Amino acid sequence: METFGRYQLVRRLAVGGMAELYLARQVGPEGFEKQLVVKRILPQLAGNQDFVAMFLDEARIAARLAHPNVVQVFDFGEAQGSPYLVMEYLQGEDLRKIWRQAQALRLPIPQALTCRIASEVCAGLDHAHKQTDPSGRPLGIIHRDVSPQNILVSYDGAVKLVDFGIAKAADTAVVTRSGVLKGKYAYMSPEQAAGRPLDHRTDVFALGVVVYELLTGARLFKRDSDRATLAAVAACEVEPPSAREPRVPADLSALVMRALERDPTQRYQEARAFGEALEGWLHAHHLPAASTHLTAYLRHLFPEPLAIAPTPTAPPPPPTAPVLTGTATGAWPVRGLALAAALGALLALGLALAAWRL
């Protein structure tokens, strides 16, 4: 186990183009122990001032955000010549993995739960979009990378937006170079794909793409090449979700299509407005979409998740009773499920599974 500053790195969870994520442990006196996630810049990029400045921008933006639907950042520092962020440890899965598992099991994400997840993301985005400096001046924070990979759902039903690594704020140190696109092409807005100036409505469009794909089970703009994908985004020729998947109600389809308007002035003007529209649809149809229903659905998709236990200092004694085991799922492991919680989740599952047929 590697010691990194004040933290012990248990194992690497993921690696990207700029940084790597580690499951980490902070140990203190009297048996204090807390599991966290350490994000540190890749060693080969630690000397690149542009990448370091981007990483520092992420830290500055993340430090301002304190919301239940945004992954919390606890610490920032430098160790062994590498800047790092320390974030909360979320036990669950990212939405991309949830979607893939749902497709593999032929159990589509219920429409009501899709709306619940998107509504929670809207709340997190609205919080970020409306941040101001001490004088009250809007900071103009834009995520710019809203995608299934950056939406995390915990096994207790919490939904959190993560990774402001390429987010933009008015007071960030790095200005995106002209002609340099940042973000996942298939989830860009037309104005982002064209390299035009952006505002918070680009995040509304990106979330609209996510919702469209979850409802229809098909990619919207993804093509065989990056060039073709960007061309599809620029054209923004979108078939209504209800036309592509007949089970999508027309009134829900209309809500999604408004988020996907090519002209930003025709979209929801705030993430909150999109969230309120989705909440209104849930209320009008009396659909089960509480966190308990989301928990039950995830437990059905991932029935045997197992938390990573602390590294023992000596070989453990043989068990005296049967022990439930399983494999850790994804980069965000989950604690073993107690029998009572499992029974409660199964009861809620009936409601959650019924919703996807509507």
Q: Tell me, yes or no, if 94 is annotated catalytic.
A: no
Provide the token pair at 208: 């609209």
Gap between the Cα atoms of 168 and 37, Å rounded: 23
CA distances from 40 to 21, 60, 68 (A): 7, 15, 23
Are the C-beta atoms of 249 and 315 separated by less than 8 Å?
no
Gap between the Cα atoms of 113 and 39, Å rounded: 30
Angle at the Cα of 31 (from 25 to 36), degrees rounded to 5?
Answer: 20
* Buried/exposed 78-111: b ≥16 CB within 10 Å, e otherwise: eeeebbbbbbebbbbbbbebbbebbeeeeebbbb
| Residue whose pair of structure tokens reads 């054209």 in the numeric block | 235
Catalytic residue selected from 57, 94, 126, 145: 145
* Buried/exposed 139-176: b ≥16 CB within 10 Å, e otherwise: bbbbbbbbbbbbbbbbbbbbbbbbbbbbbbbeebebee
Look at strands 19-27 and 7-15 and give their pairing: antiparallel
Closest residue by Cα to residue 95 from 352, 347, 348, 330: 330
Q: Edge-to-edge strand order for the sheet containing 73-79?
A: 2-4, 7-15, 19-27, 33-41, 82-88, 73-79
Closest residue by Cα to residue 93 from 18, 15, 158, 165: 158
Catalytic positions, please? 145
